[in-house]
Amino acid sequence: MEDAEIKAKTKKESDRTGFEPHIIGFLCNWCTYAGADLAGTSRIGYPTNIKAVRVPCSGRVDAMYVINALKNGADGVLVSGCHPGDCHYNQGNYYAKRRFMVLREIFSAMGINPERLQMSWCSAAEGAKWAKIVAQVSEKIRELGPFEGI
Amino acid sequence: MARIGVFVCWCGSNIAGTVDVKKVAEEVSKLPYVVYSTDYKYMCSDPGQNMIKEAIKEHRLTGVVVSACSPRMHEVTFRRTVQDEGVNPYMMEMANIREHCSWVHDDMEQATEKAIELVRMAVAKAVELEPMEKIEVPVTKRALVIGGGIAGIQAALDIADGGVEVILVEKSPSIGGKMSQLDETFPTLDCSQCILTPKMVDAAQHPNIKIYSYAELEELDGFIGNFQARIRQKARSVDMDLCNGCGDCWNKCPQKKIPSEFEAGMSYRTAIYVPFPQALPNTPVIDRENCIYFQSGKCGTCAKICPTGAISYDKSDEFITEEVGAVVVATGYDLFNTDVIGEYGYGEVPDVISGLQFERLSSASGPTEGKIVRPSDGKKPEEVAFICCVGSRDDKYGRPYCSRICCMYTAKHAILLHHKSHGSQAYVFYIDVRAGGKGYEEFVRRATEEEGAIYMRGRGSRLYRDNGKVVVKGADTLSGAQIELHCDMVVLANGIIASPGAEELARKLRISYDEYGFYSEAHPKLRPVETNTAGIYLAGCCQAPKDIPDSVSQASAAASKVLALFSSDILTREPNIAEVNPFTCTGCFTCREVCPYDAIDEEEVTVHIDGKKVTRMIARVNLGKCQGCGICCAVCRSNAINLKGTKDLQIFGQIKAFTGSEGKKLDEPVGLKK
């Protein structure tokens, strides 16, 4: 998606429904958080919907954080870490991936749309990619509409 | 009761241009626990920092939130600021409203709303923060260097010159490595052994260096500053103190047909042997697998004739444990085995040799005393073909990388051929010529322009024996011609691969390696000699293919890291590591299973249950090894382990604060713009 396209789409959607998704992002300190900083330094624009929580590793993110986030007003959750093989702590991102694949299955079983939990890999050098991820995830959650509770 | 002060930075117009900072400060002042909230143009400046200190004093703040740039920028700055005023440095939290907000959004209303939310989250975390103290760990000021090639020797010398004791472990009977097998080195054509042996002698005689040769690392336990290295000293069968190097034993040894590793298989050695005359230590070793006595019980000649009685057959391997604080890995490389290449004859054409074998032919102390001759009949080769990129830049053999030294050593071989074998002509089949070092390009031009080596751009596609000659089929892509060269000898420039046993060693050290077996550096650009395992450093080709100058540089760099580590008696570590609650831990050790750093120890606790004393094992975090990743915390089934600095409560606080949804009904769309 081009930046201008993203902005245009964002404006149209929110004008129509007045719905701005609230998304909480768990960003791993070594890769994604740094990548997001790079997006900032490079002044790459993206929507305002994702608020970041800094964690040392995507593997730190407990399933309960995701569930609590949804209970506390989040419409979606993004967990983002280092690329497979590049985890600063060797293997944390693998545990995160497995954990959230299972959590998505549980969500399906409970009637929560599993797409409300998104995962991404973004390295410290990928500022532009982070902007794209934010735009795409925001768009996805906007399509799903507000989270009405379990 | 937490008393939080919030400081919102303008950062000139960087933040204030897009975020209404005054509004942020005002909204945040209404939050519970916030007793003071203000804004300022440049929080990181001296007046800005003084403002924080004054506020701490005046409002008796217990915690501080600075909402400004990224914590990756100024977290350390503001931790120091609050510490100066007597507040624990870990009671400071930053909200990133620049890189993550003002710099990436342009709608002032939306950006301000997001900034308020981010600060609200930071305040919620600050309320749950706890004071922490840096962890102090003692340091053993001794270093272990694994590998006695040029990189290992250089690292050992630099560390030893810095006043630190070094243990140097080398698995061959002598130190020196591959550099001792080379004839002359590019681009200076220095005699390799002439420049290497003085360093070898320095290392052997240095009061701070202890060499274990014919020894290997068996196990490495512990953590940075506190390693225990268990070394296997293999049985030489020859007493190093009694042996006087007379050589009677190897002169009389009847087993003379063992292919010599040092001569790259170009000639033979005996079962009791010293790898090369300048070997250090100059004590022979018995190769038990090929020794007649050890295999069949017969012979025993060497022990009988040894004038000092230094030989005894009943010695076995010994194990020694050395306490060290840091490890430098300098285990070098191996060379691609050209025998697997069918197009080049599967290693069965006798006059096709490898780069290292050519070095031995050319070397004055080699099997032919420096005369370059054909292995098949000992005659002078009039025409020699050199084929580059053998096993390198080749996906077919799973090695797409460039081995970095072959273009240079091939040019060197062409020059040596022209010098030592008058009238002989070198033909080089190349793809690209990589000559990026100092004096390298000029050296290659010397080969082509002064020595008259003929360079043809094209791979050698096939070679075979024909009537005593070797036929090389190739192409010259620059002229478009097919080439068929009938020459006397072919040298294959085989590339660098990981040394044998590299992966096994990496597992013992708990360091990472890539798909080729080269060890992973902590950051490819900015941290080339550290690994992700604290206290373990890299030097030389074990990290990636490189030439001698770069190996020496990297070795000195690794040495400087070790000396920096040892510059104080204690190692201070950041305290954001895991912590076990001994009351709720059930001792399932799932945490230990997932820990990448082996940082969970067992602790015995005694509890009283129903009036009876019960002893059980629970987990305890090793303060030296834990790197603070928190994977254990997410898998703990009893919620007994938490990560200081990002505790569960601290994260939950942020989650609750993020939409300010306290009191709001969930079916009301939150964040609706009015």
| 34-73 of A, contacting B, C-beta below 8 A | 34, 36-37, 39-41, 43-48, 51-57, 59-65, 68-69, 71-73
B103: contact with A, CB 8 A cutoff? yes
Run of H or E residues at A97: helix A92-110
Dihedral in degrees, nearest 10, Cα atoms A18, A19, A24, A30:
-70
State the nearest Cα–Cα gap between A120 and chain B, in angstroms.
17
State the nearest Cα–Cα gap between A36 and chain B, in angstroms.
7
Run of H or E residues at B573: strand B570-573
Size of interface A-B (CB pairs under 8 A): 151
| pLDDT score at A73 | 87
Kindly write down the DSSP assignment for every residue of B116-181, as one continuous string: HHHHHHHHHHHHH------EEEE---EEEEE--SHHHHHHHHHHHHTT-EEEEEESSSSS-TGGGG
State the nearest Cα–Cα gap between A34 and chain B, in angstroms.
8
Dihedral in degrees, nearest 10, Cα atoms B443, B446, B449, B450:
180
| 114-133 of A, contacting B, C-beta below 8 A | 131
Residue A17 predicted with pLDDT over 80: no
Kindly write down the DSSP assignment for every residue of B365-389, as one continuous string: TSTTTT----TTT-PPPSEEEEEEE
Most B CBs within 10 A among A90, A122, A130, A148, hence the mutation to make, goes to A90
- pLDDT tens per residue, range B535-553: 999 999 999 999 999 999 9
Which chain B residues contact residue A40 at CB under 8 A?
70, 98-100, 103-104
Per CATH, the number for B142-234+317-332+499-565 is: 3.50.50.60
| pLDDT score at B484 | 96
Cβ separation A60–B71 shorter than 8 A = no
Which of B72, B111, B114, B113 has its CA nearest to residue B94? B72
Which of B564, B319, B298, B548 has its CA nearest to residue B437? B548
CATH topology of domain B4-132: Rossmann fold (3.40.50)
Identity of the residue in A22, A41, A89 whose CB atom sits nearest the CB atom of B629: A89
The answer to whether the B4-132 and B338-497 domains have the same CATH topology is: no
SS3 B548: helix
**ipTM score of the complex?**
0.91
Q: In angstroms, what CA-CA distances link B518 with B215, B338, B434, B502, B530?
A: 22, 20, 21, 8, 14
State the nearest Cα–Cα gap between B670 and chain A, in angstroms.
7
Per CATH, the number for B338-497 is: 3.50.50.60
Identity of the residue in A53, A64, A149 whose CB atom sits nearest the CB atom of B654: A53
Most B CBs within 10 A among A17, A54, A93, A99, hence the mutation to make, goes to A54
Which of B94, B131, B197 has its CA nearest to residue B645? B131
Identity of the residue in A39, A69, A73 whose CB atom sits nearest the CB atom of B670: A73
| pLDDT score at B674 | 28
Nearest residue in B to A31, CA atom: B72
B646: contact with A, CB 8 A cutoff? yes
Whether the CB-CB separation of B169 and B217 falls below 8 Å is answered with yes
| pLDDT score at A3 | 60
Beta strands B34-40; B184-185: pairing state: unpaired
Identity of the residue in B71, B104, B597 whose CB atom sits nearest the CB atom of A46: B104
Beta strands B383-390; B489-494: pairing state: parallel
What is residue B363's DSSP assignment? S
Cβ separation B104–A54 shorter than 8 A = no
Cβ separation B627–A34 shorter than 8 A = no
**CA–CA separation, A108 vs A14, rounded Å?**
27
The second-level CATH assignment, the architecture, of B578-644 is 2-Layer Sandwich (3.30)
Nearest residue in B to A34, CA atom: B72
- pLDDT tens per residue, range A119-145: 999 988 889 999 999 999 999 999 999
**CA–CA separation, B522 vs B173, rounded Å?**
32
**CA–CA separation, B573 vs B298, rounded Å?**
60
Cβ separation B99–A56 shorter than 8 A = no
A148: contact with B, CB 8 A cutoff? yes
Which chain B residues contact residue A90 at CB under 8 A?
512, 532, 596
| pLDDT score at B222 | 83
Beta strands B272-273; B184-185: pairing state: unpaired
Identity of the residue in A19, A68, A90 whose CB atom sits nearest the CB atom of B655: A68
Identity of the residue in A56, A65, A149 whose CB atom sits nearest the CB atom of B667: A149
| pLDDT score at B664 | 42
| pLDDT score at B122 | 96
| pLDDT score at A1 | 54
State the nearest Cα–Cα gap between A108 and chain B, in angstroms.
20
Which chain B residues contact residue A125 at CB under 8 A?
none
Identity of the residue in A33, A90, A99 whose CB atom sits nearest the CB atom of B596: A90
Beta strands B383-390; B425-430: pairing state: parallel
Instruction: Specify the long-range contacts of residues B469-478, CB closer than 8 Å, at least 24 apart.
Output: B470/B349, B470/B351, B470/B352, B470/B385, B472/B385, B472/B387, B472/B427, B472/B429, B474/B387, B474/B429
Dihedral in degrees, nearest 10, Cα atoms B236, B246, B256, B276:
70
Cβ separation B669–A56 shorter than 8 A = no
- The domain locations on chain B are 4-132, 142-234+317-332+499-565, 248-305, 338-497, 578-644
Cβ separation B655–A59 shorter than 8 A = no
Whether the CB-CB separation of B669 and A18 falls below 8 Å is answered with yes
**CA–CA separation, A130 vs B282, rounded Å?**
60
Kindly write down the DSSP assignment for every residue of B173-239, as one continuous string: SSS-TGGGG-SEETTTTEEHHHHHHHHHHHHHH-TTEEEEESEEEEEEEEETTEEEEEEEE---SB-
State the nearest Cα–Cα gap between A92 and chain B, in angstroms.
6
Most B CBs within 10 A among A19, A38, A58, A62, hence the mutation to make, goes to A62
Helix then strand then coil, in percent of chain A rounded to 5, is 50, 15, 35
* Under-70 pLDDT residues of chain B: 660-674
Dihedral in degrees, nearest 10, Cα atoms B542, B545, B551, B553:
-110
Strands lying side by side in the sheet with B326-329: B209-213, B165-170, B142-146, B326-329, B536-538
